[in-house]
Structure 1
Amino acid sequence: MSVPRQSADSLALQCLYRWEEDAPKRVTLRQPVGAGQVRDFTWAEVAEQSRRMAAHLKTLGLEQGWEPGARIAILSKNCAWWLFSDLAIWMAGYVSVPLYPTLAPDTIHQILTHSEARLLFVGKLDGWEGMKPGVPAGLPCISYPVSPEDAQDQYDHWDAICAETPPLTGRPVRGADELATIIYTSGTTGAPKGVMHSFGSFAWAISSGLNRIPLGEQDRMLSYLPLAHVVERALVEHGWLRTGMQVYFAESIDTFAADLQRARPTVFFSVPRLWTKFQQGVQAKLPQRKLDFLLGLPIIGGLVRRKILKALGLDQCHFAAGGAAPMPVALLKWFRTLGLPINEGYGMTENLALSHITVPGKDQTGSVGPAYDGVQVRLDPITGELQMKSPALMLGYFKQPELTAETLTADGWLHTGDKAEIADKGALAGCARITGRVKDLFKTSKGKYVAPAPIEDRLSMNPAIEACVVTGANLAQPVGIAMLSPEAAARDRAALEKELAAHLEAVNEKLDPHERLDCLALTATPWTVDNGLITPTFKVRRNRVDEIYGPRLENWVAQRRKIVWAD
């Protein structure tokens, strides 16, 4: 895969040096440090912190004989030091390996071993005690000022290192064709794969992305989705470096609402699950029927919209986006009635999340919009799979050339694994609609194929349902499995069953006969990263759901009830 040519000024480190010189005193990062306190960092401080750690890493590399491009890992929730670490790794001539801050110890060990990491930054973490066994014995570690106390006691400390290490001088740069990072995919099946991306790929992705996403120096973003995820990495980290915008960090789940109010982001990206929680929070205080009535009043409707968005911390948001999983159409329409249209994006780790996004100002609901500028798209004539090609494609999978060859076609196109349709006329001309995963299709005992994703979108629009899966290979009809929201799980079961039975009937009425669900199984047991039922980006792991609930499907159907309980 050839690497795109980019102006040197557009590459990550060169962007940092530009802000260091042109705007040294401007506050660019706002970091919570506990007890409601916030620490601000200027561009000069960002550069100095990064330079001091880079000098330390170069010294370690010389002493321990690290090879050029050696891998250095980061295990932390989002914080200013995460970004400093990444910049320092690049300045020192190495390659960063980010890890999700919610991984199980076995996965941590697998990634650190597979990447041959030479050092690990241990940062802000909630479950460090459980993760610690995954760190290989003898691997050097460095802690942050916001790391768990025992990590700060056990490992070399960021502040101590920076206090005694002079900053790296000059402007060390990395070429566009050099490997910048290895992003291990969370994956809904199988072991994580190490996706390799270059500095040039990131630079091209940002250049193309900014043609569609209105992001500039005056904007603010709240960084809370894991920086180990490709969207946060590209949009927040590389968007920050390119545009010079201000980045706020969230302190914790408990303070998230206050963090949003503090940041009042002008650009906000989230996964469907959080957008759904926002909706459910509003509906809990203002029932939908009453909300519809108020929004229909000429003057009061505008006041209500502004009040709701202000309560969410999104009253100054001029660009909202969703992605990482399909956005239900009804959810998109609901936010549009509040005056906050959500642009739905589509992409993968393998293409730096840069494939499609809806166009701001246009109602392209029901699609993921047209491809970004410079992205080529085609559909497989047999399977209907969406395939794409752009200068933002990965270099390949780290140490897995066979898997790389399976994922990229001989002529350099990426197999996305997603089935799609592309409109050729009307308001959605050129827009893609993702209809499901090629491998998610299953066949009933009647020989009919079922695509689960569109059915799941409809099921999930009831506020009692937080996540769901449609399954049932070799059964006469599909079956739905739904995880209840905490509020729904606490409700009276009889009333909840009656409500969801009516919802199931309404969903079935809009489906083809072979798609209609025999029953809906409810569970109050949360689907979490720890029990393996969801990924760190809140995608449901279908294979794990089938593994746990599959043996019980026939029994549920035999009960001949529309609503059954999985617990």
Structure 2
Amino acid sequence: MTTDSRYLVHRVEQETRADGTMLLRSGYQMSTPARVTGDWLHRWTEEAPDRVFIAERSGAGWRELAYAEVLEQVRAIGAALVGRGLGADTPILVMSGNGVDHGLLALAAQYVGIPLVPVAEQYALIHGAHGRLKHAVELVKPRMIYADDAARYAEALALPEIAALERLVSVNAEPGMVAFDELLKGDSGVDIDTVHAEIGPDTVAKYLLTSGSTSTPKAVITTHGMMCANQAQLLDALPFLGTKPPRIVDWLPWNHVFGGSHNFNMMLANGGSIYIDDGKPTPALIDRTLENLTMKAGTIWFNVPVGFGMVVDAMKSDEALRRSVFSELDMIFYAGASLPQDVWAAMEEMAIEVRGALPLMTSSWGLTETAPATMLQHEPTDRSGIVGVPLTGVTTKLIPDEDMRCEVRVKGPNIMPGYFEDPAKTEEAFDDEGFFITGDAMVFVDAGDINKGMKFDGRISEDFKLQTGTWVRAAGLRMEALKLLDGIASDLVITGADRKEIGLLIFPNMGALKKAGFEEDAADGALIGEHLKREIRHRLAERAGQTSGSASLITRALVLSEPPSMGDGEMTAKGNLNFRKVLTRRAEMLERLYDNADPAVITLKDS
């Protein structure tokens, strides 16, 4: 392999079929993966027993557990779970967020072959979202439920569907619940070595629920083999992971494949350390994140673009934070959306100031069904939005349209075997060659050089046709509209399927509107303040003057007064809109959007 100390140079092999379909593969061979995740834990307990693996905030400092401690506790918990009769057919559902005990339980379950089902903590903490929690319970039929704090999760723990199960809690246990400390006593009647030896690459490690952004959440079967293969693929592409133990200060939730499989396992596979950030990129919790980042310096920084933006804003006037963040930083890794170029440039400038060198700034592409990383930009680039090239062991099938926008399908050792107890959806998910049909679209950065990688270009399922037969690329148009309506829209839905014109259903950013002094008059589910309507009309009209063609011309908008409902499935746990659910639940508002006589509707015809 051609490498330097940080990355693998892109080398892509391409096969083009007679029908135009392209197959892309890495030009490098995939390394041999670990057999099961427990192999990583054993390796680093032998090689670095006193190195911190996992930590969380405790008072003014951190509760830290080293590899040897973690393995000892994982084996005890695993034996206790087996002794209580749990196994491959009795999943454990976790409804609280990231924490040391959550991590220990996850590793213990994997160690003895019990599937873990982490779900978004919002499902338990938000009364209106309990239906999502009940759906998860009905879908995977767990034997045990875990929550870190019985008092905080009291309402959810009291639900009849939950109360009928074995309820495991770390603190504030009530009668009838199992205290987490009880599991740490182990079970001398269980031969833990024999139990662990019986699991293998095909053993289920997790059932991960899809976000539900396009349909009802499905449970993705995630095996040890998938997760181990993905970490081997990532190490192939990023050899620096094997030369210095990585360390992260990370908030990304473990119910999502990025935080819980990609980031968590990257630390475990490479003998690294994960410090759990109990903050988040929200106004209420960002200060906690800034405190944590000042206390601990990571070598890799994972975040979503809005999170990077908030920290960058703070670092501009906080030299101590800036030096802590960049002092040992080898890689900046964004996901979820493209990183704004001004944030990218600011981080480059700060890195040069602090270290005199740039970290690798990158992103990748994948889904819950792909464990997740399948494509990765693993050599330096100077711009955001590129998801790179196939990882080792992956074959990417690209089906281009007339504009060379490609539907993406993938095959490899990190791809799921199917959805739990849903053979129909599983069959629909794969084509006749066994490629997973992702539903995503991509375009080449440079059609003349496939080694420059690819850019994500939306979901095929989000595209629609106007009555004229013109295709509308909704994902790209939505991002453009959000930028246009910055300070007004927190999110929006592109409309126009089988209609003459493209429209917007806008969820307003109420905090920004108040700050800007816009009126907030509401009537019949819509905001009707004249100042707000004039501003939106003005921005749409300005854009219309620079737009040609009906495929991207937005001619009407309606500002909704009711925020998206997680309980009704309009919003996923990741904060993404389920566009179909919004359009279905708000069918009346959609019809109003195309009624020129409705006084709440904003149209260019009025400008």
Instruction: After TM superposition, give the deviation of residue 140 of structure 1 in Å.
Output: 0.8
Match of 2:42 among 17, 24, 28: 17
Q: Is 1:327 paired with 2:352?
A: no
Instruction: After TM superposition, give the deviation of residue 272 of structure 1 in Å.
Output: 3.8
4+ aligned runs moved over 6 Å, structure 1:
none
Other-structure match for 1:447: 469
Once the two structures are overlaid, the 10-residue window that deviates more, 369-378 or 126-135, is 126-135
Q: What are the equivalent positions in structure 2 for 1:235-314 lying under 5 Å apart? A: 235-253=262-280, 254=285, 255-275=288-308, 277-278=310-311, 307=319, 310=322, 313=325
Residues 356 and 368 of structure 1 are in contact (CA less than 8 Å); yes or no, is this contact kept in structure 2?
yes
Other-structure match for 1:362: 381
Write the distance in 2 (CA, Å) between the matches of 1:434 and 1:23: 39
For 1:225, the aligned partner's letter is: L
Other-structure match for 2:398: 379
For 1:46, the aligned partner's letter is: V
Other-structure match for 1:294: none
Other-structure match for 2:237: 212
SS of residue paired to 1:52: helix
SS of residue paired to 2:182: helix
Instruction: After TM superposition, give the deviation of residue 196 of structure 1 in Å.
Output: 1.0
Residues 56 and 161 of structure 1 are in contact (CA less than 8 Å); yes or no, is this contact kept in structure 2?
yes
For 2:501, the aligned partner's letter is: Q
Q: What are the equivalent positions in structure 2 for 1:384-463 lying under 5 Å apart? A: 384-423=406-445, 425=447, 429=451, 431-461=453-483, 463=486
Once the two structures are overlaid, the 10-residue window that deviates more, 420-429 or 13-22, is 420-429
Other-structure match for 2:372: 353
Q: Is 1:89 paired with 2:101?
A: no
Q: 1:272 to 1:468 in 2, by over 3 A?
A: farther
Residues 221 and 265 of structure 1 are in contact (CA less than 8 Å); yes or no, is this contact kept in structure 2?
yes
Q: 1:512 to 1:417 in 2, by over 3 A?
A: farther
Q: 1:276 to 1:72 in 2, by over 3 A?
A: same
Write the distance in 2 (CA, Å) between the matches of 1:312 and 1:524: 42
Q: 1:352 to 1:134 in 2, by over 3 A?
A: farther
SS of residue paired to 2:274: strand
Other-structure match for 1:77: 97
Gaps of 5+ in 1: 283-302
Q: 1:499 to 1:263 in 2, by over 3 A?
A: farther
Q: Is 1:222 paired with 2:249?
A: yes
Other-structure match for 1:293: none
- The Cα offsets for residues 318-340 of structure 1, whole Å up to 9 and x where unpaired, read as 3222223x326656655566557
Other-structure match for 1:513: 549
- The Cα offsets for residues 512-557 of structure 1, whole Å up to 9 and x where unpaired, read as 4211111344456544634533211222110122134442245445
Write the distance in 2 (CA, Å) between the matches of 1:226 and 1:206: 19
Once the two structures are overlaid, the 10-residue window that deviates more, 392-401 or 530-539, is 530-539
Q: 1:489 to 1:168 in 2, by over 3 A?
A: farther
For 1:355, the aligned partner's letter is: T
For 1:267, the aligned partner's letter is: I
Q: 1:125 to 1:335 in 2, by over 3 A?
A: farther
Structure 2 length normalisation: TM-score?
0.78
Write the distance in 1 (CA, Å) between the matches of 2:567 and 2:63: 32
Other-structure match for 2:330: 318
Residues 144 and 152 of structure 1 are in contact (CA less than 8 Å); yes or no, is this contact kept in structure 2?
no
Q: 1:13 to 1:366 in 2, by over 3 A?
A: closer
SS of residue paired to 2:391: coil
SS of residue paired to 2:248: strand
Write the distance in 2 (CA, Å) between the matches of 1:463 and 1:308: 31
Write the distance in 2 (CA, Å) between the matches of 1:313 and 1:524: 40
For 2:581, the aligned partner's letter is: R
Residues 369 and 431 of structure 1 are in contact (CA less than 8 Å); yes or no, is this contact kept in structure 2?
yes
Residues 145 and 168 of structure 2 are in contact (CA less than 8 Å); yes or no, is this contact kept in structure 1?
yes
Residues 71 and 97 of structure 1 are in contact (CA less than 8 Å); yes or no, is this contact kept in structure 2?
yes
SS of residue paired to 1:238: helix
SS of residue paired to 1:207: helix
Other-structure match for 1:289: none
SS of residue paired to 2:493: strand
Residues 144 and 166 of structure 2 are in contact (CA less than 8 Å); yes or no, is this contact kept in structure 1?
yes
SS of residue paired to 1:363: coil
For 1:357, the aligned partner's letter is: L
Q: 1:429 to 1:509 in 2, by over 3 A?
A: farther
Residues 379 and 385 of structure 1 are in contact (CA less than 8 Å); yes or no, is this contact kept in structure 2?
yes
Write the distance in 2 (CA, Å) between the matches of 1:342 and 1:277: 17
- The Cα offsets for residues 304-355 of structure 1, whole Å up to 9 and x where unpaired, read as 598497299566543222223x326656655566557752321111111222
- In the alignment of these two chains, the number of paired residues is 530
Other-structure match for 1:56: 80
Write the distance in 1 (CA, Å) between the matches of 2:151 and 2:412: 38
SS of residue paired to 2:583: helix
Other-structure match for 2:354: none
> Alpha carbon RMSD of aligned pairs, Å?
3.4
Residues 332 and 365 of structure 1 are in contact (CA less than 8 Å); yes or no, is this contact kept in structure 2?
no
Q: Is 1:482 paired with 2:481?
A: no
Residues 308 and 343 of structure 2 are in contact (CA less than 8 Å); yes or no, is this contact kept in structure 1?
no
SS of residue paired to 1:518: strand
SS of residue paired to 2:478: helix
SS of residue paired to 1:226: coil
For 2:331, the aligned partner's letter is: F
Q: Is 1:158 paired with 2:180?
A: yes
Other-structure match for 2:126: none
For 1:552, the aligned partner's letter is: M
SS of residue paired to 1:181: strand
Match of 2:602 among 549, 553, 561: 561
For 1:142, the aligned partner's letter is: L
Write the distance in 1 (CA, Å) between the matches of 2:65 and 2:400: 52
SS of residue paired to 1:225: coil
Q: 1:225 to 1:8 in 2, by over 3 A?
A: closer
Gaps of 5+ in 2: 1-28, 124-128, 352-359, 520-530
Instruction: After TM superposition, give the deviation of residue 416 of structure 1 in Å.
Output: 0.5
Other-structure match for 2:60: 36
